[in-house]
């Protein structure tokens, strides 16, 4: 159990630098063929995203973390002919109607991608485009917010765009698509995505918030073995928190826990294994100043 816990912490520490709304934005998992990264799901039978590198001839290094993922398009051959792959994730919190958001992602392509089929080499070394959709359910592509240019470069390049949510959304979906009307075999490599509120250039940053802060672990194991059994914050003993409110939600947006005590210890009794999302609003008294702050994130329950 201790080895498993340490392995989990090692893995999930690499996911701490996520964009506020995306779980596992660096697409971490054990590298594997047809193995979707943690917290991402495939939308169709013909969608078989991989966790790279090391498969189909792809040897590129990740732009962030240890692994990355990919989506492909297919030409007029094979059982999945003329299809394009897609994948999605449930956002750590829903997008708010009328809010402006900023999205970034690293893209590349592989000139080595291909495989043998019926003693014939099929090359996927062709550039494709990436589309980003928003939805209110898994795999629902209700709002296309961005389409990239044709990704022709083998080195990672960062793409970014801003958008305003026209309604509340809970899911983000990515899809590969052909450049033009002709269907062909192609690939796009994907890593280091970020989705957060767009910065308001007219509002200066509140630097003092860094003093009014605490650390939140993102894995705990409420199995009664006396090791890491509760979910709690870690803060400086000298920090004076005057107001505190923390709420925890499951993946469907239902609140499962609430506390107004910064010294809370949630034992997650009767909660299933999986990922939960939390939001905390709190105030501190520092150097005769009253400072308000908030934090949001996720925590995984493991047995």
pLDDT of residue 210: 60
pLDDT of residue 77: 84
Place of tokens 């090692």: 10
Cβ neighbors of 250 (< 8 A, separation 6 or more) are 256, 274, 276, 277
Assign 226 to helix, strand or coil. Answer: coil
Note whether 123 and 187 are within 8 A (CB): no
Domains present along the chain, CATH in parentheses: 2-197 (2.60.120.260), 207-301 (2.60.40)
Nearest Cα neighbor of 86 from 32, 152, 140 is 140
pLDDT of residue 240: 82
pLDDT of residue 200: 58
pLDDT of residue 3: 37
Cα(301)–Cα(303) distance, integer angstroms = 7
End-to-end Cα separation, the chain, in angstroms: 9
Cα(121)–Cα(99) distance, integer angstroms = 48
Which segments in the chain show pLDDT lower than 70? 1-19, 200-210
């Amino acid at each position: 159990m201790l080895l498993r816990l340490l392995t989990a912490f090692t893995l999930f520490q690499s996911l701490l630098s996520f964009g506020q709304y995306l779980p596992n934005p660096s697409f971490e998992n054990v590298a594997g063929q047809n193995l979707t990264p943690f917290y991402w799901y495939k939308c169709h039978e013909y969608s078989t995203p991989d966790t790279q590198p090391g498969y189909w001839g792809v040897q590129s290094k990740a732009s962030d973390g240890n692994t990355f993922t990919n989506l492909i398009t297919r030409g007029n051959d094979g059982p999945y002919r003329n299809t394009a792959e897609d994948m999605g994730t449930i956002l750590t919190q829903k997008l708010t109607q009328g809010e402006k958001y900023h999205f970034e992602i690293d893209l590349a392509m592989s000139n080595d991608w291909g495989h043998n089929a019926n003693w014939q080499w099929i090359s996927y070394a062709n550039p494709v485009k990436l589309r980003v959709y928003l939805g209110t359910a898994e795999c629902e592509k209700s709002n296309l917010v961005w389409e990239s240019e044709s990704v022709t470069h083998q080195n990672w390049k960062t793409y970014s765009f801003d958008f305003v949510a026209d309604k509340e959304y809970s899911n983000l979906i990515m899809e590969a698509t052909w450049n033009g009307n002709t269907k062909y075999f192609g690939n796009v490599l994907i890593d280091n995505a970020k989705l957060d509120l767009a910065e308001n250039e007219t509002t200066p940053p509140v630097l003092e918030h860094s003093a009014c802060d605490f650390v939140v672990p993102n894995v705990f194991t409420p199995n009664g073995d006396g090791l890491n059994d509760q979910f709690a914050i870690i803060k400086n003993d000298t920090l004076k928190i005057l107001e505190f409110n923390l709420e925890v939600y499951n993946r469907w947006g239902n609140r499962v826990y609430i506390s107004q005590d910064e010294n809370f210890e949630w034992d997650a009794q009767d909660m299933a294994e999986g990922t939960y999302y939390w939001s905390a609003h709190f105030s501190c008294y520092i150097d005769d100043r009253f400072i308000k702050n908030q934090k949001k994130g996720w925590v995984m329950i493991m047995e």
